[in-house]
Structure 1
């Protein structure tokens, strides 16, 4: 299980949103590269980055901030937001991103995901963000009529590296992960599933290390790390101990 610290980019700054609402953004760091380095210093070994402006624009917007992070840190980085075509996938991977996350385009253009996953094995993930069980798109501004499971099953044999499942209702509110829905998804498909949205405390980390959550590949932590509710050292120690046992 990997715990991914999250950096969400808006106007070149590191922010956290509440329920994906751009009007409810809190700025936590004016320098995303410094924030990335801080996470490395804390002991994290994989970074999760989202270009929020890019998710709305449909193309990369905060490229400069992302590139500054890539120059600053040496740990793997997965990136989502505004990745809607093969050229953008290829450009980011060439710049040093370890894994791209395709969200809206996975709903609108599933063939893109299949083509990207085939061309870049192990380096393409799908981001599925759910509102009341239905997948939201366009930076969560719209809700589709398809369920998370329906879309996830489309990619069963495509070679997708992971599915990042976010419960929008919990995102940024520190209400705890929606483990029931996330585990149900992980149990229904063969693709590794990463939990996102609402991770609030060490209790959430403990819950992810229980036998019923054994199929989960990881979780993304955001606001809980920024406001001190989740102690990085304690969380990472728990995970390392669980790996050894």
Structure 2
């Protein structure tokens, strides 16, 4: 199982939001590339980066910070936030991003996402972000009438690498990952699932790693790392054993 330490970008700074609310941002640093290297020094080979401003704007707003991260981080960078057209996808892959996470466009323009998944095999991750079981888009500002399972099933057999499932009601709150919903989603689709939202400590990593055989590919963690509640090296070691 892969552990993805997260770097969320807002106006060039490293932040964490509570429940996706841009007005509830905690700033953890102003040098995203340096933060990426700290994660690398702890042993991380994968990194999850989100352009929060881009998610609301529908286009990149933190390109410079992302470029520096990709240039310096020695592993694989997974990037999301406002990526909604071919030009953006191609541009980020050309820059060296390993995987692109698409959420809003996956709901509103699924054929585009399927085309990208076929063209960039193994490179496209579909974000399934949920409030009360329904898919949220536009930086989580809008909630659709589409269930997470229905959303996920649209992309089976389309070449999508993984699903990224976030329970928005837990994100950034250290309430614990919604493991039951994550595992249920993995069991009801043919795609591997990455868990996100609310990881509070090593127990979450342990429980998720025990479910790896159910289709859990990885877990994203942010605030628990920044607040010192989760030791990244220990989490990586536990996931590797699984």
C-alpha deviation, 1:107, in angstroms: 0.4
Residues 1:2 and 2:2 aligned together: yes
C-alpha deviation, 1:210, in angstroms: 2.0
The superposition leaves residues 105-131 of structure 1 with CA deviations (integer Å, 9 ceiling, x where unpaired) of 000000111010011000011011100
- Hey, what does 1:202 align to over in structure 2? 202
- Hey, what does 1:99 align to over in structure 2? 99
C-alpha deviation, 1:84, in angstroms: 0.4
C-alpha deviation, 1:211, in angstroms: 4.6
- Hey, what does 1:123 align to over in structure 2? 123
- Hey, what does 1:192 align to over in structure 2? 192
Compare 204-213 and 78-87 and name the one that shifted more.
204-213
The superposition leaves residues 64-118 of structure 1 with CA deviations (integer Å, 9 ceiling, x where unpaired) of 0000111111200000001001111011000000000001000000011101001
Aligned length: 242
Answer yes or no: is the 8 Å Cα contact 1:76–1:98 preserved in 2: yes
C-alpha deviation, 1:157, in angstroms: 1.0
> Partners in 2 of 1:6 and 1:211 — Cα distance?
21
SS at match of 2:27: strand
Answer yes or no: is the 8 Å Cα contact 1:208–1:214 preserved in 2: no
The superposition leaves residues 184-240 of structure 1 with CA deviations (integer Å, 9 ceiling, x where unpaired) of 000011111000000001110111122586420000000000000001122112122
Answer yes or no: is the 8 Å Cα contact 1:52–1:81 preserved in 2: yes
SS at match of 2:135: strand
SS at match of 2:166: strand
**TM-score, length of structure 2 as denominator length:** 0.98
Question: Gapped runs of 5+ residues in structure 1?
Answer: none
C-alpha deviation, 1:164, in angstroms: 0.3
Answer yes or no: is the 8 Å Cα contact 2:186–2:214 preserved in 1: no
> Partners in 2 of 1:139 and 1:198 — Cα distance?
17
The superposition leaves residues 160-192 of structure 1 with CA deviations (integer Å, 9 ceiling, x where unpaired) of 001000000000000000011100000011111
Answer yes or no: is the 8 Å Cα contact 1:8–1:50 preserved in 2: yes
> Partners in 2 of 1:7 and 1:219 — Cα distance?
14
SS at match of 2:174: coil
**TM-score, length of structure 1 as denominator length:** 0.97
Residues 1:136 and 2:136 aligned together: yes
Answer yes or no: is the 8 Å Cα contact 2:187–2:214 preserved in 1: no
Aligned CA distance change for structure 1 residues 212 and 43 (closer, same or farther; 3 Å): closer
Residues 1:233 and 2:233 aligned together: yes
> Partners in 2 of 1:65 and 1:236 — Cα distance?
25
- Hey, what does 1:218 align to over in structure 2? 218
Structure 1 outlier segments of 4+, above 6 Å: none
> Partners in 2 of 1:123 and 1:177 — Cα distance?
25
